[in-house]
Amino acid sequence: MLGGHLVNPNPVVHPVTPRDAGSVAPDVAAAALVGLSAAGRAPGSAALTDASGIVTATEVFEFIRDIKDPEHPFTLEQLRIVRPENVYVLDRGVASGGPARADGTPAPASEVVRSGGPGDDGHCYIRVEFTPTVPHCSLATLIGLCLRKRLERSLGRPIKLDINVTPGSHQTEHNINKQINDKERVAAAFENPSLHPIVEDCIRDSDY
């Protein structure tokens, strides 16, 4: 955790959503995706994707919910920085995630992936929106980088990843979005010897 002056000294801590009985820990799911179990063996029934091999928003959320906040001993889910309804996936033309329509039916792909992603080109398009705890949060860029690193490391197939601050939740959201989605800026950030250990500490699997 970062020391010194706290951006938000008194964050609200929320209860977390119980994991489904059939869900698997993020490290196990990631290993299953690339063909190995956490112990290095061939994967069993546990896998990130559903029976059709399509990645879903629910499973993507499992990867990011336990990322640690940079300045507090809580997860991003506990602080409601990330929420299940703010994860959108369009995989091979199949959409998942985001809020359902008023009648309870799922929104079509064009509504779920609001910025527009590939349809059935074989790639998986993932959009994650996160909400800093305060609108002046100076750690928002770091949180976005943690989300990107975690998902890029965990998903073992071609993906298009879009990480954004939830609209209206930060004073400089446009600049933050640009920085955490620009390949050159992201690469430079991950090569920064001061920043890299912080990111690694935040995304390390925890027992929350």
Please check whether residue 47 lies inside any domain of the structure: no
Helix then strand then coil, in percent of the chain rounded to 5, is 30, 10, 60
Q: Does residue 155 lie within any of the structural domains?
A: yes
Read off the pTM.
0.76
**Percentage of residues of the chain with pLDDT beyond 90:** 48
Q: Is residue 194 part of a domain?
A: yes
Paired tokens of 137: 């949060």
Q: What per-residue confidence (pLDDT) applies to 128?
A: 94
Would 35 be classed as within a structural domain?
A: no
Statement: residue 28 has pLDDT above 60: no
Q: Counting beta carbons within 10 angstroms of the beta carbon of residue 67, is it exposed (0 to 12), middle (13 to 18) or buried (19 or more)?
A: buried
**Higher per-residue pLDDT: 199 or 100:** 199
Residue 13 lies in a domain: no
Q: How far apart are CA 75 and CA 150, in angstroms?
A: 14
Assess if residue 187 is contained within a domain. yes
Determine the pLDDT at residue 17.
80
pLDDT digits over 66-75, tens only?
A: 999 999 999 9
Q: Is 102 among the domain residues? A: yes
Q: Rounded to a whole number, what is the distance in angstroms from the first to the last CA of the chain?
A: 15
The residue segments making up the domain with residue 62 are: 55-203
The total of structural domains in the chain comes to 1
29, pLDDT greater than 70: no
* Domain annotation covers residue 11: no
CATH number at residue 133: 3.30.300.130
| pLDDT value of position 41 | 25
